[in-house]
């Protein structure tokens, strides 16, 4: 798993844990009218490279799985 941290004004605090598998890249993007998204590029699960990457959507309180690609 990977952790998203939130700035509290004085320190970074753990905000949300996201399930990942060999994650090697993250990308935040905002689509006008659709909201905030986070994409994670997974690279492996155990010895297999046959693993999907996932896009998460901000639902107002946390990032929720939106699409597995």
**Which phi and psi (to 5°) does residue 27 adopt?**
-140, 125
E strand segments, 1-69: 2-7, 12-18, 25-31, 35-41, 54-58, 63-68
Does the pTM surpass 0.75? The reply is yes
Q: What tens digit of pLDDT does each residue of 6-46 get? A: 999 999 999 999 999 989 899 999 999 899 999 999 987 67
Which residues, other chains included, contact 24 with Cβ-Cβ below 8 Å and sequence gap of 6+?
A: 41, 43
Residue 47: the pLDDT is: 76
Residue 55: the pLDDT is: 97
């Amino acid at each position: 798993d990977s952790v998203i941290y939130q700035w509290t004004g004085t320190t970074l605090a753990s905000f949300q844990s996201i399930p990942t598998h060999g994650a090697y890249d993250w990308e935040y993007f905002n689509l006008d009218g659709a909201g905030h998204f986070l994409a994670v590029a997974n690279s492996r699960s155990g010895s297999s490279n046959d693993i999907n990457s996932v896009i998460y959507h901000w639902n107002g309180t946390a990032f929720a799985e939106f699409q597995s690609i």
